[in-house]
Structure 1
Amino acid sequence: MLKAKALKAGDQIGVITPSSPAPVLFKERYQRGLIQLEEMGFTIVEGKCSREIQSYRSSSIGTRAEEINEFIYNKDIKAIISTIGGLNSNSLLPYIDYEYLKRNPKVIMGYSDVTALLLAIYAKTGLTTFYGPAIIPSFGEFPKMLAKGREYFEDIVLLKKKAPFALDVPLEWTEERLEWETQSREKEMVKNEGWKTLREGIAVGTLIGGNLDTMSGIIGSEYFPNLKGAILFLEDTSKNMALEERLLSMLKVNGVFDDIAGLIIGKHEHFNDLKSPFSLDELLLEVIGDTNIPILSNVDIGHTFPSHVFPIGIKVKLNATKGIITFLEDGVVKDKVE
């Protein structure tokens, strides 16, 4: 496995916009996100797509791919973080310079639609990537980034917490959606009911996963990782029960549930159950069938806040019986110069 160096104060972070033109649409929140990172000690280098807009996307496929490659080639850039997700990061996968990145590893982070980039880079290079905060929704939160979200970020990529360690369950969480252009108060936090055991058991494996809907755009391709023996994590946002049945069944018919050693399901932001007489957890068990793997659901990862940072590619232990996720190794390495 390949790992980037841990980030430290003074490092340069390249900011990419691989899909949605959100920096143009939500300028104030975008700037707040940049300021947040600067206050944490980083130097920000904006990508050329941060000021572009082409309807649903920031720029052309070629330009968006160039934006990423330019940061990959720039040895002063120690991390690449996405502004937000969208729907079309998978368009860029054939044009990323994986071989150069393999020789010059750096932190690559984002979530949601950026799943396509994170999984493709891991599959093609073996580099650990990071399912974690994005500039606009996470670092740009009003009036500032959630303290727990910042803690989880710094624990993982600044190596403030060394493996092995068990993840904590945040006391509070939120999925409240406020209009970004007019938001004038903090989101309302609610009590976290904790993580839920769907199937008991203990498994150790490689942590791989991301946004379930985004996976539909790359599964079966050379950009989708081998999941044999993996601890798979899945999360989604704003879907309904019918769509989730289709997406979970996509994994089923591709043999995913037969390959993996364990399953982690994140909280689903703004889920529509379509008045179904069963829950999403019950649907998951119905789709999986008799496959006997440990399953933990309602985990704080993805679109709800605060969310843990999951390094794709590290070894983890899933104890679904006790509701514990333990990171067995770090996602980054300490710079020997320090």
Structure 2
Amino acid sequence: MRIINPNPLQNGDVIGIVSPSSPLKSKSIDKGINYLRDMGFKIKFGAHFKEENRFLAGSDENRAKDIMDFFKDPEVKAIIVSRGGQGSQRILPLLDYHIIANNPKILVGFSDTTALQLGIFTKTGLISYTGYTLTIPYNPLLQKTLLSCLFNEPYSVQGGDMVHTGVTTGELVGGNLSLVTSLIGTPYQPDFKNKILLLEDVSTEPFNVDRMISHLDLAGIFAQVSGIVFGQFENCISKDDIEGTIDEVINDWASHFKVPCIKNFPYSHGVNNCVLPVGGFVTLDVPTRSLNINKRGSI
């Protein structure tokens, strides 16, 4: 598959804001919008980004339309998701992937946006960025990595604990475990062969995390990848002590994998998280506990 590299942003560029998942409701995006404006960007809001329809930010058609309108809009140079939640995978059949491939732009989101980003990558090869929405609190690591992605600068993220040592290079795929699992067996499932797999989740009991990792294993995903990055599983706490901890689940599964693997990497719903490229070329260096992200278009 041909990889498509979106153009980097420049000062004064227009960023489009969309809500492909849950409605904003009481969540504020003011701080995120002000931050982008302070960085010199102009903001354009999707026509339906504040809509509400049960647990969704409007109808599937309207949420998909906002995304397609921005991909077709020559003024808009990047698209950033307002928040996660649920529902982005519902709009995958409604997107025009030919238009997206011919009008590549930076797409930034997190959590539920995993389905949208993996679907677009599978259908077009367009690199996007996971780890940030407008509702996520800022921290120095987030700001540094977000700006590196927007301006196409190489960077490195250190952290986590070694599981299996080694160094491997490849395209990074994954994101939120629940959403990665939900795409298995669909036309939007990415090709995992020789990829570095990235996984995290939030507020999911350990037995559910175990079930989803088992699902990926039974689907043959772990046998295909060249490396694994387990992020931090924030608030994944058992309601019953007998069920064990999330660390026990990750350690158990990690012991089965023989490729370079790291856990507790700072990619998560927690206070210390980073932005990473979905489909981007990276190097996982377990001895230094680092993930090195290449400049787009370079290997």
The TM-score by the shorter chain falls in which range?
over 0.9
Q: 2:142 aligns with which of 128, 137, 149?
A: 149
Structure 1 residue 148 displacement after superposition: 3.1
Aligned residue for 1:5, secondary structure, equals: coil
Tell me, yes or no, if the aligned pair for 2:47 and 2:66 is still in contact at 8 Å: yes
Q: 2:175 aligns with which of 195, 200, 210?
A: 210
Equivalences for residues 88-127 of structure 1 within 5 A: 88-127=87-126
**Matched letter for residue 227 of structure 2:** G
Structure 1 residue 216 displacement after superposition: 2.6
Equivalences for residues 222-261 of structure 1 within 5 A: 222-261=187-226
Task: Give the equivalent residue in structure 2 for 1:168.
Answer: 158
Q: How many residues align?
A: 295
TM-score for both structures, normalised by structure 2? 0.93
**Matched letter for residue 219 of structure 1:** I
Aligned residue for 2:202, secondary structure, equals: coil
Aligned residue for 1:15, secondary structure, equals: strand
Equivalences for residues 73-92 of structure 1 within 5 A: 73-92=72-91
Aligned residue for 1:86, secondary structure, equals: coil
Structure 1 residue 278 displacement after superposition: 5.1
Structure 1 residue 5 displacement after superposition: 0.8
Structure 1 residue 303 displacement after superposition: 1.1
Summarize the Cα distance change of 1:136–1:166 in structure 2 as closer, same or farther, 3 Å threshold.
closer
Q: Deviations over 1:269-298 (max 9, x none)?
A: 112044257543442343466441121011
Q: Deviations over 1:46-75 (max 9, x none)?
A: 112222112211111111111111111101
Summarize the Cα distance change of 1:16–1:256 in structure 2 as closer, same or farther, 3 Å threshold.
same
Task: Give the equivalent residue in structure 2 for 1:265.
Answer: 230
1:280 aligned to 2:246?
yes
Structure 1 residue 151 displacement after superposition: 1.6
Task: Give the equivalent residue in structure 2 for 1:301.
Answer: 267
Task: Provide the C-alpha distance between the structure 2 equivalents of 1:39 and 1:83, rounded to a whole number of angstroms.
Answer: 17
Summarize the Cα distance change of 1:288–1:255 in structure 2 as closer, same or farther, 3 Å threshold.
farther
Aligned residue for 1:236, secondary structure, equals: strand
Structure 1 residue 268 displacement after superposition: 1.2
Q: Deviations over 1:128-157 (max 9, x none)?
A: 1111310122xxx3xxx3333222111222
Task: Give the equivalent residue in structure 2 for 1:25.
Answer: 26
Return 5+ residue gaps in structure 1 as ranges. 170-194, 334-338
Task: Give the equivalent residue in structure 1 for 2:7.
Answer: 5
Tell me, yes or no, if the aligned pair for 2:158 and 2:289 is still in contact at 8 Å: no
Structure 1 residue 87 displacement after superposition: 1.4
Aligned residue for 2:178, secondary structure, equals: helix
Aligned residue for 1:225, secondary structure, equals: coil
Summarize the Cα distance change of 1:166–1:30 in structure 2 as closer, same or farther, 3 Å threshold.
closer
Task: Provide the C-alpha distance between the structure 2 equivalents of 1:255 and 1:133, rounded to a whole number of angstroms.
Answer: 29
Task: Provide the C-alpha distance between the structure 1 equivalents of 2:6 and 2:134, rounded to a whole number of angstroms.
Answer: 20
Structure 1 residue 324 displacement after superposition: 2.2
Q: Deviations over 1:74-113 (max 9, x none)?
A: 0111111100111111000001111111111100110100
Percent of pairs identical after alignment?
Answer: 29
Tell me, yes or no, if the aligned pair for 1:16 and 1:82 is still in contact at 8 Å: yes
Aligned residue for 1:167, secondary structure, equals: strand
Task: Provide the C-alpha distance between the structure 2 equivalents of 1:217 and 1:277, rounded to a whole number of angstroms.
Answer: 24
Task: Give the equivalent residue in structure 2 for 1:180.
Answer: none
**Matched letter for residue 59 of structure 2:** S
Aligned residue for 2:86, secondary structure, equals: coil
Q: Deviations over 1:226-262 (max 9, x none)?
A: 0001110101101111111111111111101100011
